[in-house]
A and B are shown apart, each in its own frame.
Chain A
Amino acid sequence: MRKAMLSRVNLPGLATIAVAIALWQLYASTIGARFDSIASSTAIFSAIKGSFADGVLFDQLAHTASIALAGWIIASALGFAIGLLIGVSNTVWTYSLASLDVLRSIPSISFVPVAVLWFGFSVTTELIIVIYVSLWPILLGTLSSVHSAPAGLVDVSRVFHLSRAATLFKITLPAALPSILVSLRLSLTLAIALAVVAEMIGNPQGLGFAMVSAQQAMRPDRAFAYLVVIGVLGWAANALFVAIGGAFTRGYERAL
């Protein structure tokens, strides 16, 4: 088991990252040293260590992560419920889809200034932005996968004379699960990204605000440090979700 885990680790790939870090250090201490805007790898690492040591970074990380997570959970529940309603009912589908199609064409980022207009600079603004943006993938993923359940499976439910509820819970939803999981993962990434953006524009707290402050104070070491932290946060959330989601859909390829 452990050997299998080890062989899955891409050692040459990790070595490339190490080389890239070393090359950046070399560049920053030679050519890049002339620029105020470049921070060396070691300066970035010590900035990360420093902000972790005095607890500031941890608070900011906790703020961003918790808002992103809360917004994502609310959006997931809301998006799933609305998507299910539209996907299951033909009437609702007919009389709402085109409207949704137009609304989803509005780039979600445009909503950020509107949210600031409504709620001022506050946590509410940040949360609303996260919810709005991460709602779309789940809503669209749920409604399209529920609406287009594989014909063979639908026939099976008819053969067994399943009730509408039984069809939904035993056939439609399990069949839709993989694509719903994909949209959940997509919107988790979006939730973190938009929490950071919202902190830059609409709520002076958390990682995003700290990063803009570092930039405005001309502290490249801190700005890069936050970039690394936010990158790791996004990457870790994604990896965690893939691991958990994989456990749910094991064996699906064979079943469908």
Chain B
Amino acid sequence: MIKGAPLRGLLPLALGLVLWQLLAPANSPYFPPPSEWIRALEALAQRRQLWPAISVTVMNFLLALLLSILIGSALGILLGRSKLLDRLLGPLLEFCRTMPAGALVPVAVLIMGYTSSMTLFVVVFTSFWPILLNARSGARNISQDRLDTARAFKLSWWATQTKILLPSVVPSIRLGTQIAAPITLIIVLLVEILTQVSGVGRQIALAQSVFRSSTVYGLVALTGLFGLAVNAFIGWIGHLARKYDPSFSTSAVSR
């Protein structure tokens, strides 16, 4: 989102962490120094709780993002191509879109219990909207020339969908995915913290409930690394897009 941030800008953060390390006592209940975070994470790893939690969270994230891409693009293309469907479903979707993820959790737990499918349901339901919106506007604004080309070549309905429509909408889906990825990570952690089913979020909530503050800080820093990885992934998608598609535009439909 912000381009051209010079590395010098990391100075305040580094300075803050160093000061924190130097000034905070090792057993500080509220602000344990960074060295204690690492020690706490090592302890968690020795109890064989760290890596399983990480793999669950990463799997949840990847699976939810994949489902969001599939469902979001399918629904989006459908709504973008059919004015009638768009008008019929518009208000209902608009209402569902503004539903906060946290509020969905208790109802989802009632119906599906504390399960991983409940986690996936809540995450996909709340984070696939940017993909849907972008796919919809991409499918709606597909150039008439391309559709005419399909007609001129007498392409079948199926061939038109796969050879003309889908490739034209891919850039929009890509943009939607770039917006949806960080949201997906946040909601995965949210559900894990709220329900304590599994994953890194569960470990954070558990550590907080027994006041292991250095574990909490360590895990929060770990989620920061996840966030950085997601941002790098987004940047990489954008890089690919600019490399292979010169007409790539960066104007996304966000919320």
Q: Which residues of A are in contact with B by a Cβ distance under 8 Å?
A: 10, 12-17, 20, 35, 37-38, 93-114, 116-118, 140, 143-144, 182, 185-186, 189, 192-194, 196-197, 200-201, 207-208, 211-212, 214-215, 218, 220, 223-224, 226-227, 230-231, 234-235, 238
Contact = CB atoms under 8 A, between A and B. Distances in A.
A37 to B, nearest CB: 4
A95 B208 contact: no
17 contacts: A95-B8, A95-B12, A98-B7, A98-B10, A103-B224, A106-B223, A107-B182, A107-B186, A107-B223, A110-B204, A110-B223, A111-B220, A113-B207, A143-B2, A208-B103, A214-B106, A231-B99
A94 B2 CA distance: 12
B98 interface: yes
A10 B87 CA distance: 7
A113 B216 contact: yes
A112 B207 CA distance: 13
Given A13-B91, A103-B13, A201 B99 contact: no
B41 interface: no
Contacts, number: 185
A214 B105 CA distance: 12
B95 A144 contact: no
Contacts of A97: 2, 5-6, 9
Contact of B9 (A13, A15, A98): A98
A231 to B, nearest CB: 5
A112 to B, nearest CB: 7
Given A117-B30, A200-B105, 13 more contacts: A12-B87, A13-B90, A93-B9, A97-B2, A100-B2, A105-B224, A105-B230, A110-B189, A144-B2, A193-B101, A201-B205, A220-B107, A226-B106
B92 A17 contact: yes
Given A193-B100, A215-B107, A215-B110, A105 B2 contact: no
Contacts of B10: 98-99, 102
B154 to A, nearest CB: 34
Nearest to A192: B100
B124 to A, nearest CB: 17
B185 to A, nearest CB: 6
B107 A13 contact: no
Given A13-B88, A13-B90, A193-B102, A99 B186 contact: no
B147 interface: no
A223 B107 contact: yes
B109 interface: yes
Given A211-B103, A215-B107, A230-B103, A197 B2 contact: no
B111 interface: yes
A13 B204 contact: no
Contacts of A201: 193-194, 205
A211 to B, nearest CB: 5
Contact of A114 (B12, B88, B217): B217
What is the interface of chain A mostly: helix, strand, loop, or mixed?
Answer: helix
Interface in B204-236: 204-205, 207-208, 211, 213, 216-217, 219-221, 223-224, 226-228, 230-231
A195 to B, nearest CB: 9
A103 B194 CA distance: 23
Nearest to A38: B111
Interface string B1-37: 1100111111111000000000000000010000000
A117 B194 contact: no
B104 interface: yes
Given A12-B88, A13-B90, A235-B98, A227 B104 contact: yes
A197 B87 contact: no
Nearest to A196: B102
Nearest to B4: A97
Given A38-B111, A196-B103, A231-B103, A113 B208 contact: yes
Given A17-B95, A201-B194, A224 B9 contact: no
Interface string B92-130: 101110111111111101110000000000000000000
Given A16-B88, A231-B103, A238 B220 contact: no
A118 B193 CA distance: 17
Given A17-B91, A235-B95, A96 B12 contact: yes
